[in-house]
Amino acid sequence: MRKLNLLMALFLILPPFLSPGQEKAAKPITAVNVQSMGPQKLGNLPPVAVPINNQQSTLKIQLGKKLYFDTRLSKDNTISCATCHNPAMGWSDAGPTSVGIRGQKGGRRAPPVSNAAYAPLQFWDGRAPSLEEQAKGPIANPIEMGNTHELMIQSLQGIAGYVKDFERVWGSSIVTIDMAAEAIAAFERTVVTTDSPFDRYARGDENALTKAEKQGLEIFNGKGHCTACHWGSYFSDGRFHNLGVQPADISKQDAGRYAVTKDTADMGAFKTPTIRDVGLRAPYMHDGSEKSLEDVVDLYNKGGRTHNCNLSPLIVPLGLTKCEKKALITFMKTAMKSINPEVADVKPVPASELPK
């Protein structure tokens, strides 16, 4: 009963673009569509939902982009958002977990910033409700950018070029942490996938996928029942599951979603990541413990690594053959790779072009 309530609650808080039926008119992806266990079909991403109190504007997006690539947001001027969410590494980093100021290692893998605008909740445990809230976190995180909001604002306020930029957007030369977070979030909302071989296929181009990729898509949506969790145009339900990724040693386990809800059923559960651009950001999982997509697929095929009481009932041995595993991997690696420049070709703003 509680589970049912939780499901209903989650359903209610999902943003409107995830409402079932929205993509009713979309062409069926494959013959196995009927087996899809997720409530929403795979397809093209809808336009990003923009919060009423942070409308997009060109100047705001440009400012957000500069802030995103500026190491001066960190305490010792060494780390920017892009250090850990590098466009050239699938908007993530080399991992397995992130390294912040003074070489400090965090406990979790950097999720991609690309398409994060579609996640109903941010972070592996969903503790931030919006991109705006999320952006304030790393600046003041002692092992990430190691700064304080006050000191960061002081440094921005001391850079005449930034003060001018903020003034152009907000009409005020008093910079606040909220303004900085809003600008960064506005930039992040432009890093969204409109085009990948899969998207072309979903729009009706039969030749956009190779034979192997089509077979992989069928397995993703059928025998592998990956769409039980990686569903909809974002290829994620935005919910939290325990996949048995945790090390067997309890003292080394990450509580995951439990830290937010204090519900024991959430112990070791993490947010379903999107499959978009997944081939560009090895290693995988919240702790970067799976080195390659081959390893990830082996994990699923075995039905998880560590058995525990919270293991998702959907994680069961799959019985995929060697060829089926290969097709599934090919689909994720190449068919889900963004081609549109907003995701694929974003170059860092060089230090010489940052405000002085």
Q: List interacting residues with ligand HEC (CB under 6 A).
A: 79, 81, 83-85, 98, 100, 106, 108, 110-111, 113, 116, 119, 122-125, 131, 134-135, 138-139, 144-145, 184, 224-226, 228-230, 241, 243, 245, 270, 272-273, 275, 278, 281, 284-286, 293, 296-297, 300, 312, 314-315, 328, 332
By C-beta, is 205 or 262 nearer to ligand HEC? Answer: 262
* Nearest CB to ligand HEC, comparing residues 13 and 205: 13
Compute, in degrees rounded to 10, the torsion defined by CA atoms 46, 190, 51, 75: 140
Closer by beta carbon to ligand HEC, 40 or else 134: 134
Cα–Cα dist 191/91, whole Å: 9
CA distance 354 to 299: 44
The position carrying tokens 């002692």 is 142
Nearer to ligand HEC, 162 or 270 (CB): 270
- State which residue, 24 or 347, has the beta carbon closest to ligand HEC: 347
Q: Give least dist CB 37 to ligand HEC, A.
A: 8
Q: 233: which residues sit within 8 A by CB, 6+ positions away?
A: 17, 23, 40, 42, 43, 44, 45, 46, 118
User: Do residues 135 and 147 make contact, with C-beta atoms less than 8 angstroms apart?
Assistant: no
**What are the distances in angstroms from CA 24 to CA 20, 41, 198, 334?**
8, 9, 18, 26
Q: How far is the CB of 272 from ligand HEC (least distance, A)?
A: 4
**In the complex, least distance from residue 188 CB atom to ligand HEC, rounded to whole angstroms:** 6
Please identify, using beta-carbon distances, which residue of 315 and 335 lies nearer to ligand HEC: 315
Which residue has 């990724």 as its token pair? 245
Minimum CB distance to ligand HEC, residue 33 (Å): 16
Contacts of 166 (CB under 8 A, 6+ apart): 63, 156, 172, 173, 175, 179
Residue in the structure block whose two tokens are 């109190």: 53
Provide the minimum distance between the beta carbon of 348 and ligand HEC in the complex, in angstroms, as a whole number.
13
Q: Compute the least distance from the CB of residue 273 to ligand HEC, in Å.
A: 4
Q: Is 277 left (phi over 0), alpha (psi -120 to 50) or beta?
A: left
Which residue's CB is nearer to ligand HEC, number 201 or number 206? 201
Least separation, in Å, of the C-beta of 78 and ligand HEC? 10
